[in-house]
């Protein structure tokens, strides 16, 4: 235990060694075909403890996503505000309008990476680069945060691959 | 009964009196029905409190709760003064750049060796908004949480 | 930037006792510390909530307490259990936060304490116990409701003395006042709690009759 916890084993030295060993001896993962279109689904979701407002046209979330979010976050209800589905050829960039205040700019950066830019009220807030392989494994990429006006609520942008 | 006598009754019940003071209170309890009733009330109040403490689980998942703690620990450690490097560390400082350079050279010359990162890379464009990310293996989910400070 | 649940290379985390995890965490094993957090987070959060009575505050404070614990692991002597040590850190942080935020309320409590033998002296003695025969869940709900109606100073004195088992002088030290004040506060808090539980019982029986 002591040896493992020497400072040298904690930081980038270990990362560097692992990286080197992984590259030399680890299984090589075949690269994704370069011209393949990537199909994505983006959902804007509202998390709240309150009931759905009667006048709102929010959709109920599919049960498995609802349960997944419910196991990680504390809110009782999750409503889908909007949804966009889009295909991206390599190098292609598209803007997705999720709501009056929320936009995404998605770019198929290279054969391994997708870049998602999040805009709130027109301002660029975050850029997230995610592995396409992770998305294609069925994993979810979730950008989320507290509701600025109502701190007890939260918003979620869920990105998934639809293959 | 004076207020001092009431507080003594309570202290007797809580085992906070000397032997002599306790004997005095016992005499009072034996002689005064009002003192006995008060002792009974104080006693059951203590019992119900101990028996009825509310269990309240954290309203967040294990991963989400821990991610915030880990982030704060790392932030605090990043600002703490660095420890004095050991001999081993000084030796490793020579080896690591060489290893890293070799790894990078192989990474760029052999594209089939590029392995997809499992963690998203994030850039922050607004200084007044902090963020942190965590990955739930069980749910297959990477979360980038953005908080307005 | 990202983090998933860390894994210890040397320990079977789920079966290792707390002391072993503390030892490993002291040596910098973050996975061992995460396991301690997972084991005790509900109790630590519940204690913070019992004092602060707000979910967001309790979450925030309990997480601060874990960060402090990580930084002070070297001070953990092992003469009490890890959970007891952790709970003490949580209580101290909760009290600091309340003192900062509710200075005005604290002053009004001090004034009330100065009226030695105040309103609690005029409360009729509650007998028999109004929670007799209640199911555990109902008992907990009523106690929670009654505790929420006490002031923070009275609630805290009950928590420290009755639930944490601290002696008068220890409670006084933590709350920054004299032993005499603690005795008065404790007496008032117990009597007020009894009266509140009595009121709740009366309310429930009125509701069930109507």
Q: What is the pLDDT of residues A2-61, one digit of tens each?
A: 223 333 334 444 444 444 444 444 444 444 555 688 999 999 999 888 888 777 788 989
Tokens matching residue B127? 């200084």
Looking at residue A33, its pLDDT comes to 54
**Best of A31, A143, A153, A160 to mutate (most B CBs within 10 Å, chain B):** A143
Closest CA to A79 of A100, A103, A49: A49
Residues of C in Cβ contact (< 8 Å) with B51: 136, 139
Q: How far is C191 from chain B (nearest CA, A)?
A: 7
Distances (CA, A) of C113 to A150, C123, C180: 39, 16, 9
Looking at residue B117, its pLDDT comes to 47
Tokens matching residue A56? 């709102």
**Is A144 in the B-facing interface, judged by CB distances under 8 Å?**
yes
Residue C117: burial class (beta carbons within 10 Å; 0-12, 13-18, 19+): middle
A-proximal residues of B, 80-119, CB under 8 Å: 83, 85-86, 88-89, 92-93, 96, 99-100, 102-103, 106-107, 111-118
The pLDDT tens digits for A131-162 are 898 899 899 999 988 776 665 788 999 999 99
- The β-bridge relationship of strands A123-131 and A140-146 is unpaired
Residue C206: burial class (beta carbons within 10 Å; 0-12, 13-18, 19+): exposed
More confident residue, A35 or A126: A126
**Is A4 in the C-facing interface, judged by CB distances under 8 Å?**
yes
**Is C64 in the B-facing interface, judged by CB distances under 8 Å?**
yes
CB burial of A83-113 (b: ≥16 within 10 Å; e: otherwise) equals ebebebebeeeeebebeeebbbebbbbbbbb
What pairs with residue A154 in β-bridges?
A47, A146
Total count of domains within chain A: 1
| Composition of chain C by helix, strand, coil, percent to 5 | 75, 0, 25
Chain C nearest-CA residue for A7: C28
Q: Judge whether A28 lies within some domain.
A: no
Pairs across B and C, CB distance < 8 A: 146
Domain of residue A84: give its range.
38-161
- Chains in touch with A (≥3 Cβ pairs < 8 A): B, C
Cα separation, C198 vs C178, in Å, equals 30
Cα separation, C156 vs C52, in Å, equals 9
Q: How far is A127 from chain C (nearest CA, A)?
A: 13
For the domain spanning C103-210, the CATH number is 1.10.10.10
Q: Judge whether A1 lies within some domain.
A: no
Q: Judge whether A64 lies within some domain.
A: yes
More confident residue, C199 or A4: C199
Cα separation, B133 vs B68, in Å, equals 9
**Is A11 in the C-facing interface, judged by CB distances under 8 Å?**
no
pLDDT at residue C113 tops 80: no
The pLDDT tens digits for B29-41 are 999 999 999 999 9
Domain ranges in chain C are 1-101, 103-210
* Cis-peptide into C128, omega within 30 deg: yes
Closest CA to B145 of C155, C68, A157, A160: A157
More confident residue, A88 or A3: A88
Sheet holding A113-120, edge to edge: A93-97, A102-110, A113-120, A123-131, B121-124
**Residue among B2, B44, B133 minimizing CB distance to C2:** B133
pLDDT band for B52, please (50, 70, 90 cuts). Answer: confident
C-proximal residues of A, 101-160, CB under 8 Å: 151
Contact at CB, A72 and B96, closer than 8 angstroms: no
DSSP code at position C170:
H
Residues of B in Cβ contact (< 8 Å) with C194: 41, 44-45
Contact at CB, C29 and A10, closer than 8 angstroms: no
Segment A100-123 mean pLDDT: 90
pLDDT band for A70, please (50, 70, 90 cuts). Answer: confident
Assign residue A121 a region: left if phi > 0, alpha if psi is -120 to 50, beta otherwise? left
DSSP code at position A141:
E
- The β-bridge relationship of strands A140-146 and B141-148 is parallel
Looking at residue A4, its pLDDT comes to 31
Q: Judge whether A99 lies within some domain.
A: yes
A-proximal residues of B, 7-66, CB under 8 Å: 59-61, 63-64
pLDDT at residue B58 tops 60: yes
Cα separation, A11 vs C162, in Å, equals 46
Contact at CB, B125 and A126, closer than 8 angstroms: yes
Tell me the ipTM for this assembly.
0.79
C1-101: CATH topology is Rna Polymerase Sigma Factor; Chain: A (1.10.1740)
Contact at CB, A20 and B125, closer than 8 angstroms: no
pTM attached to this predicted model: 0.57
Kindly report each contact of residues B74-83 with a partner whose C-beta sits within 8 Å and lies 24 or more positions away, as own/partner: B76/C67, B76/C71, B83/A7
Cα separation, A114 vs A130, in Å, equals 5
pLDDT at residue C31 tops 60: yes
Chain A nearest-CA residue for B89: A8
Closest CA to B114 of A109, A139, C3, A32: A32
Contact at CB, A5 and C29, closer than 8 angstroms: yes
- Is residue A10 within 8 Å of residue A122, measured between CB atoms? no
Looking at residue C39, its pLDDT comes to 96
Segment B52-59 mean pLDDT: 88
Residues 6+ apart with CB under 8 A from A38: A87, A88, A108, A114, A132, A135, A161
Looking at residue A116, its pLDDT comes to 94
Residues of C in Cβ contact (< 8 Å) with B44: 129, 131, 194
pLDDT at residue B148 tops 90: no
What pairs with residue A88 in β-bridges?
A38
pLDDT at residue B3 tops 90: no
Q: How far is C42 from chain A (nearest CA, A)?
A: 14
B-proximal residues of C, 147-206, CB under 8 Å: 158, 161-163, 167-168, 183-184, 186-187, 190-191, 193-194, 197
Give me the residue label for tokens 């009226």.
Answer: C115
**Best of B48, B62, B143 to mutate (most C CBs within 10 Å, chain C):** B48
Residues of A in Cβ contact (< 8 Å) with C29: 1, 4-5
Closest CA to A102 of A61, A37, A157, A47: A157
Q: Judge whether A3 lies within some domain.
A: no
């Amino acid at each position: 235990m002591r040896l493992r916890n020497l400072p040298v084993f904690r930081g980038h030295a270990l990362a560097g060694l692992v990286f080197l060993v992984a590259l030399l001896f680890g299984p090589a993962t075949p690269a994704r075909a370069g011209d393949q279109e990537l199909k994505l689904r983006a959902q804007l979701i509202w998390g709240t403890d309150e009931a759905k407002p009667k006048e709102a046209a929010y959709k109920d979330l599919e049960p498995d996503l609802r349960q997944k979010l419910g196991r990680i976050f504390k809110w009782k209800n999750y409503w889908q505000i909007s949804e966009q589905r889009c295909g991206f050829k390599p190098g292609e960039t598209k803007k997705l309008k999720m709501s009056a205040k929320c936009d995404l700019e998605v770019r198929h950066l290279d054969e391994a990476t997708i870049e998602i830019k999040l805009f709130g009220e027109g301002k660029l807030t975050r850029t997230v680069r995610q592995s396409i392989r992770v998305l294609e494994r069925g994993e979810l990429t979730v950008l989320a945060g507290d509701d600025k006006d109502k701190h007890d609520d939260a918003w979620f942008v869920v990105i998934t691959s639809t293959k | 009964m004076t207020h001092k006598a009431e507080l003594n009754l309570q202290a007797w019940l809580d085992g906070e009196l000397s032997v002599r003071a306790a004997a005095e209170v016992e005499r009072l309890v034996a002689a005064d029905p009002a003192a006995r009733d008060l002792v009974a009330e104080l006693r059951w109040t203590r019992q119900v409190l101990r028996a009825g403490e509310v269990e309240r689980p954290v309203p967040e998942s294990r991963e989400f709760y821990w991610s915030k703690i880990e982030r704060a620990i790392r932030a605090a450690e990043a600002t703490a003064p660095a420890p004095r490097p050991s001999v081993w560390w000084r030796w490793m400082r020579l080896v690591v750049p060489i290893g890293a350079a070799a790894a990078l050279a192989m990474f760029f010359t052999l594209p089939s060796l590029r392995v997809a990162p499992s963690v998203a890379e994030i850039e922050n464009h607004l200084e007044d908004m902090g963020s942190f990310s965590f990955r739930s293996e069980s749910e297959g989910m990477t979360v980038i949480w953005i908080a307005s400070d | 930037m990202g983090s998933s649940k860390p894994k210890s290379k040397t320990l079977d985390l789920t079966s290792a006792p707390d002391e072993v995890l503390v030892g490993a965490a002291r040596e910098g094993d973050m996975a061992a510390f995460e396991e301690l957090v997972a084991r005790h987070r509900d109790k630590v959060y519940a204690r913070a909530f019992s004092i602060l009575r707000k979910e967001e505050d309790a979450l925030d404070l309990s997480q601060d307490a874990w960060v402090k614990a990580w930084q002070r692991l070297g001070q953990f002597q092992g003469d009490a259990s890890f959970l007891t040590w952790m709970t003490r850190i949580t209580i101290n942080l909760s009290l600091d936060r309340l003192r900062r935020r509710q200075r005005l309320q604290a002053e009004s409590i001090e004034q009330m304490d100065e009226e030695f033998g105040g309103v609690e002296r005029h409360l009729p003695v509650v007998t028999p116990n109004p929670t007799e025969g209640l199911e555990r869940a109902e008992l907990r709900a009523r106690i929670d409701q009654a505790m929420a109606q006490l002031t923070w100073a009275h609630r805290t004195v009950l928590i420290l003395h009755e639930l944490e088992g601290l002696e008068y002088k220890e409670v006084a030290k933590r709350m920054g006042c004299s032993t005499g004040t603690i005795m008065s506060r404790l007496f008032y808090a117990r009597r007020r709690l009894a009266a509140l539980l009595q009121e709740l019982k009366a309310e429930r029986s009125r509701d069930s009759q109507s």
